[in-house]
Structures are given as structure tokens and as C-alpha cells.
Amino acid sequence: MDAYFAPIQFGDFPGEEQEKQEADKRCASVQVLYRELKLQAFSWADLFKAKTGLASADYPSSGDGQMKTAWLQYKLNELGYLAGPLDGQKSDQLRRAIKRYSYANPGMQETDSETSQGVLAKLKSGDHGRAHLIEKPRVLTGEEPASKLVLDHNYFVVNKNALDEKYTGQGEAGIDDGHALQDAEKLDRFEALLQAKLTLVSMNDKTGSAPGIDAPLAVGPVGCEWHVFDPPETKNDLDPSLTTGVTGPTKAPAYLKKVRDTLTPAVHKDLYAMDNCPVARGGARPKDHLDMRDFFHIAGLKDVYADEIRGKMFLSLFHDDLSKSWQAGQLGTTGAIFRGSYIAGDSWIVQGRVSFAGFPNQAQLEKDHKALTGLAKSFGALTDDGDPLAARTGTMTLWRRQRVRKVVDWWSFAAAPVIAWPTVKNAFKGAFIELETPGAAVGVETIANSASKRQDYVKLMQSLATKQKNRIFEGVDGARISWTKEAIIPLEYAQQENGEALHVFSFKNAANNIINTFIGGGSFWYAMYRVPAHFLKEELDKTEPAGLTILRYDHLRPLKLPDLLNAADTLKFNDGTLALGVEDPQPVSAATYQTMSDFQNFKTGGGPSKGEDWGVVMITHPHFKQYADAFITLHEIGHCFYLTHPFDVPPPATCRPDHDQADKNCAMYYPEKNQRESEGWGLRGKAGTMPMFCGKCILKLRGWKVGEAEDAALPASS
């Protein structure tokens, strides 16, 4: 018996061993050594039943309030909404999880109450689960070497009082690191439920090399030390077909490498790369890579597994409580709730290892195990491979998923360009973001599909103009103001009441009125474009999960040229070109453009393209002709996620501090301002057009704080 000296636990072996283990079972009591630790699947439903003693994970209608709350936590966790431990307490994390769930469900308003809007009923039916949260669930047991963890992130910049007459454009969008403040309000760190099982050395195994014996009653309350590694950032290659032949390539990789080298040098090339986002920047990486205290929920599995903090270690105990018959399945196992971050690009490997910490004879116990050939590699350094009493997950890398739910056309442009989504997705991939894109564009009439909806829109626009004391509808017969699928401003210009073509002078006055409003700026300019954005957002929320909306629009109804060619007034038609005398006219070929909806003949006539509030991206018709569609789409989506123009900074500065000062090819620059190293990057028809974000924009998209922080300052440039 000398080879089995390890006085951890004395007791009977269970009676379910295989026939080959009969010799072991006949022993009334034994002294044991531990053979192998393995991670195994453990579901939130398993945990709920283990905590409550219920045979089913169905909603406990007859249970008390605490049990019902624990069920909410279980169900939201099972569906991928990160509700935290099943402690039966209505915590802030639970409230945020309910908000995320209601936000993701079409037709629901964001709420933190399960009794509101049928939230509980939907949870009972299991609607809108996020199966993609852990792309390959077996990564938690180490059976998969790597997996994405995909966190839904459909939250966008919102300027407070966006429809208010005093709106100035300085809402949340103007706050330094506003994106990080929003994340802290809306998100919770990624969490995963882990379970480890421990087997024993067989009495007939003199070297500790044979498979372990599953004898849960004999395991005892030994400890498991849980440890989190920070492996090197997952290689995230961009599609080479989209980068070949590009002039002025992105400097983002150089900037991100400089960030890693500046903040914290690597401790171990494979397991402590130290390139996850640090706490000071919004992540979870501690200053001390051995400090595990914040990576696990303390008492997170209370009533099933005990745990404790010992120094900077997190330890859980193997379950050995025989008084709870309903927890028989947990005997000989232990568990923990791992907490990562919500920062895209962060990656982790979690290890569980048998620990005798706190035992008075710890050193002797470790020595006795290492004396066996099969256990010789046990209790070495945390980074050592081959320890049979340690088990690791695969590499888990967090991604964010952002959804484009619709492309909506509110114009009469027949040959609408198809957005080059592969190029747009490639740019977001560089920030560890999966961009989910829609099918073909739809006309606005499919959304404003009833007379009442259309009238509501007209009233909203008229009300705004009246409140702003704006002259946009001045002198226009009220009967002529109506919704049109051809333009966001509800005015009819194609013909007069008697059916004849509208006189050019009248058209020019109306156009001038609107354009002068744009030139003059003011609150109406900002607010008017929020009307169609808000209208679409409200309508799509009724039928679509949360996500971005791309609105391609004209702001004035087109005026058909054939109706005007015989008019005199200010319309000029010379040498095959057309020019309308409004603010810096540029000739437009009548043979090429059949409608005045091509507003490139106005300097400001097309209206703005904007990354709008509520995740509505507005792209004006002429910008699709001026810019490469991938560039303008990417640029405006960037604004929805708090990305700014590098050049919007008071002189003498030339670049905002939240951009890489040396990367002039960032997609947030304008191509035509000659600010790029490769002039014309993003312009339609120019070679080498590959829009990418600079390194600092990528950090922002991933969730990093890029402003001042207590750690070392981020590099100013690549």
C-alpha cells in the first residue's frame, strides 16, 4: 500500500465500477492518489437543477420569488445573455441581461423587467437564443483547440434630445470615450460555466500510468486552482484578394504592435502575451498576470461548489456533500464561472489544476504524486505542459457581431449600386467584428406600407419645420404636401395642380429655400435628417431584431428633364449640358442623367451622408456616384460607432487625438480633401481603393478606451 500513501479521504468506493476494477471495489477503505483532471460539459440547466433540487429546468410556477429569479438567471444564461450566477437576486447584471434580451426581440421596447411586454413568456419559449455566443462549445472542455466567442453589439451613438429644437449635435457623440461609457452601461463581460472531474489512481496501477478510476465518493474536498492565461492575439488575416495592389496600405498593424509593446511586454510567448485589453482601458487584464481574483465569480456556484480566494489565487473545492441526494451527479467534481471581458480581440485559455493549498502536508502530498512515473509532471509551473492533474480549455477569442438589418432606398434612382459588402466586412474583421449583412435593398414603400404610416411621417416633418420656424413649406399648398417614396422631404414638384409641368422658377425657389437652410446650418439642419432616421428605426423595430439600417436617399423629389427642356427662365441647356443656377452649379449631361435627382449639379444640394442616431446610416444619392460604395458605407457606419473625422479639430492641430496621427489612409478621412497618402482613396473609379480603419479606430471599435487612463498613454502614432 506504500504507493498509495496520500491521506486525503477514506471511504467506500461506489458500486458502479467496471468488472476490471473489482479488486479496487472490494477494499473497504483506501488511501488514494489522484490520477487525472478533466474538464467536462456542464450546462446552466444542470446547475439550476443542482441548486434547486428540481427534476426539471422548466419555470418553477410554484416556487418562491428567489427560485423564480434564479430561473430567470438560468434561462438568460442558457440563451446567451450573460445574467450572472444563479443566486436568486435581482442584481444589476440580471437587469442588464433582461434589457439585452428585450432589445434583441422585435416589437419590444428595452426593459429591465421580466413582467413587461411578455418577456417572461418569450423566455419560457426559448425565443431568440444566441447559439453563436460560443461558436464551438467543446472549446470549454479542451476538445476543440480554439473557438470564437461572439457577443452581439448592436448599440449605436445617440445624441440626446436628437429631435429637440435645441439640439446642437453635442450629445453622447461628443463625449470622450463615449463608446466605452455606453458599453459599460449596456454590456456585461463574457462568462462561461466550467466543470472539472477528478479520477483516482487504481490500486493495481503501480506507476500511475493507467486510466484513472472514477470513484467520486473517494475524491474528497480537495481544491482546484483556476488560472487564466492571456495567449497571443489570434491571427486575424484579412482577405488577401481585397488587399492586393492597394496603394498606401493601412498602418493599423504597425500601430497595434506598438500598443502591445508599449503597455505591457510579454511574460511568456505562448501563455502570457499580455495583449488583452487592460483594466484601465476597459478590459479585464490585471496588472499582475498571476492575479486571478477578478476572473471568477466569488461564491458564484454557492450551494453546489464552495470556493475561496487564497492570496491572488481562486480555488474551488470538489463536491463531497452526501446530504444532498439531488447533487449526487456533482460528487467528485468542481466548477467555476469564468469571467472574461467584452473587448473584441481579447483571448483566454482557462486552466484547472488540483491544489493542496491549505493542507498542512501540502508538500508531502505533491511529492507522493510526483513519485509515480505517470504523475511526474504534476505540480510544476503553471505554464508547464503535460500535467495530468491539470486541464485546459481551448483558446477562446472574443468577437463582436454587428448586424445590418436592412438597406432601404428612399429615392428614384433605378440603377442603384450594389454595396460591396465583402470589402466593408473585411475592414470590420480587422477589429474582430463580424458584420452580418442583409440581402437586396428594399424600397421605403415596403416599410411605410400604409396611409396612416405615411401621414404620420408627413405630420412629423411638418411639425418639426413649424416648431423650428423654418420656411421649408412656406407658400406651398397644404394639399400638395404628401409622402413620396422618391425623397425624404414630403413635397411634390413634378407638376402643377392643373397637370402642367411645374415652372422652373418655382422649382428653383423651392430648391433655394431648402439649400439655404443647409448652408445656414442651425438646429433644423441637424434635426430634419433625424426625422426619417427615427421613423425608419421605429418601424423596423416592430419586425426586425436590433441592428443598423442603411438609408440611401434623395431629399427632393426628382424633376424630369423632358418636362423642362422648353422652359426659359434660369434653366440653361447649352452644348449638351444642363446647369441650374443654384450654389456652384456643375454641368450635368442631359443624355446621361434623365432626372434632377442626380444632385451633383449642386454643391450642397444632395444633403449630407451621416452615421445617424439609432444606428441609421444615411447616404445621399450623389455620394454613391462620387465615392466608392464600400468607402462611403464603411465611413458612415463608423460614425454610428463613435468614430470621428480626424480633421475635425481646432487649429493649429491637424488630427484629433483619437486617431493614429501618422495614418492618413484611415477610412474616416475624406478622399477629396487631399489628406490621404494615396490621393483619391475611396473615390469611385480610382485604383487602389481599399478603405480601412487606423489602429486607434480599431481599438475604439473593439471597445478600448483611447483617451487618458491611469496606465501608460497609448502611442500617438504608428
Per-residue pLDDT, averaged over 612-631, amounts to 76
Element containing residue 349 per DSSP (H, E): strand 347-355
Q: 456-468: per-residue pLDDT in tens?
A: 888 887 776 666 5
Inter-axis angle of helices 92-104 and 178-186, to 10 degrees?
100
Comparing 160 with 412, the larger pLDDT belongs to: 412
Q: What sections of 26-132 are H helices per DSSP?
A: 44-52, 65-78, 92-104, 119-125
Distance (Å, rounded) from C-alpha 392 to C-alpha 592? 65
Question: 3-class SS at 409?
Answer: strand
Residues 6+ apart with CB under 8 A from 450: none
Give me the chain's average pLDDT, please.
79
Distance (Å, rounded) from C-alpha 27 to C-alpha 4? 13
Lowest mean pLDDT among 152-156, 358-362, 607-611, 703-707: 607-611
Comparing 666 with 679, the larger pLDDT belongs to: 666
Q: Identify the pLDDT of residue 20.
A: 41
Give the burial string for 40-77 (b: 16+ CB within 10 Å, else e): eebebebbbbbbbeeeebebeeeeeeebbbbbbbbbbb
Q: Is the pLDDT of residue 490 over 80?
A: no
Q: Identify the pLDDT of residue 178.
A: 85
Quick one: pLDDT band at residue 596, thresholds 50, 70, 90? very low
Could you tell me whether strands 395-410 and 548-553 are parallel, antiparallel, or unpaired per DSSP bridges? parallel
Distance (Å, rounded) from C-alpha 636 to C-alpha 614? 13
Residues 6+ apart with CB under 8 A from 397: 146, 147, 148, 149, 234, 345, 346, 347, 432
Q: Is the pLDDT of residue 555 over 50?
A: yes
Inter-axis angle of helices 421-429 and 629-640, to 10 degrees?
40
Quick one: pLDDT band at residue 664, thresholds 50, 70, 90? confident
Q: Identify the pLDDT of residue 2.
A: 34
Percent of the chain with pLDDT over 70: 71
Lowest mean pLDDT among 193-207, 494-508, 663-677: 494-508
Q: Identify the pLDDT of residue 349.
A: 98
The amino acid occupying position 534 is: H
Q: 261-296: per-residue pLDDT in tens?
A: 888 777 888 899 899 999 999 999 999 999 999 999
How far are the Cα atoms of 41, 112, 152, 184, 547 from residue 177, in angstroms, in the given order?
38, 25, 20, 11, 21
C-beta neighbour count of 543 within 10 angstroms: 11
Q: 157-176: per-residue pLDDT in tens?
A: 876 544 443 333 333 556 77
Given a contact cutoff of 8 angstroms between Cβ atoms, the answer to whether 550 and 623 are in contact is: no
Q: Identify the pLDDT of residue 553.
A: 83
Q: Is the pLDDT of residue 582 over 70?
A: no
Lowest mean pLDDT among 169-183, 357-371, 389-403: 169-183
Given a contact cutoff of 8 angstroms between Cβ atoms, the answer to whether 111 and 99 are in contact is: yes
Q: Identify the pLDDT of residue 460.
A: 81
Q: Is the pLDDT of residue 549 over 70?
A: yes
Kindly state the cell numbers that stand for 545. 431584431
Q: What sections of 521-618 are H helices per DSSP?
A: 523-528, 530-541
Q: Is the pLDDT of residue 687 over 70?
A: no
Nearest CA to 227 out of 331, 381, 367, 341 is that of 381
Quick one: pLDDT band at residue 240, thresholds 50, 70, 90? low
Q: Identify the pLDDT of residue 554.
A: 77
- Cis peptide bond upstream of 652, omega within 30: yes
Q: Is the pLDDT of residue 512 over 60?
A: no
Residues 6+ apart with CB under 8 A from 325: none
Kindly state the cell numbers that stand for 602. 449642386
Q: Is the pLDDT of residue 617 over 80?
A: yes
Residues 6+ apart with CB under 8 A from 509: none
Q: Identify the pLDDT of residue 117.
A: 81
The amino acid occupying position 453 is: K
Comparing 125 with 24, the larger pLDDT belongs to: 125
Q: Is the pLDDT of residue 416 over 60?
A: yes
Q: 221-239: per-residue pLDDT in tens?
A: 899 999 999 999 876 655 5
Per-residue pLDDT, averaged over 204-227, amounts to 93
Quick one: pLDDT band at residue 243, thresholds 50, 70, 90? low
Lowest mean pLDDT among 52-61, 80-89, 636-645: 636-645
Q: Identify the pLDDT of residue 168.
A: 39
Q: Is the pLDDT of residue 621 over 80?
A: no
Most confident listed range (7-21, 107-121, 406-420, 590-604): 107-121
Quick one: pLDDT band at residue 653, thresholds 50, 70, 90? confident
Distance (Å, rounded) from C-alpha 356 to C-alpha 582? 83
Lowest mean pLDDT among 209-218, 320-329, 519-528: 519-528
Distance (Å, rounded) from C-alpha 413 to C-alpha 170? 33
Lowest mean pLDDT among 79-83, 579-583, 626-630: 579-583
Q: 285-341: per-residue pLDDT in tens?
A: 999 999 999 999 999 999 999 999 999 999 999 999 889 999 999 999 999 999 999
Residues 6+ apart with CB under 8 A from 637: 404, 424, 548, 611, 617
Per-residue pLDDT, averaged over 559-565, amounts to 42
Q: Identify the pLDDT of residue 193.
A: 98
Per-residue pLDDT, averaged over 684-698, amounts to 74
Percent of the chain with pLDDT over 90: 46
Q: Identify the pLDDT of residue 560.
A: 43
Q: Identify the pLDDT of residue 488.
A: 82
Q: Identify the pLDDT of residue 576.
A: 30
Distance (Å, rounded) from C-alpha 555 to C-alpha 518? 12
How far are the Cα atoms of 150, 405, 446, 500 from residue 402, in angstroms, in the given order?
10, 9, 24, 49
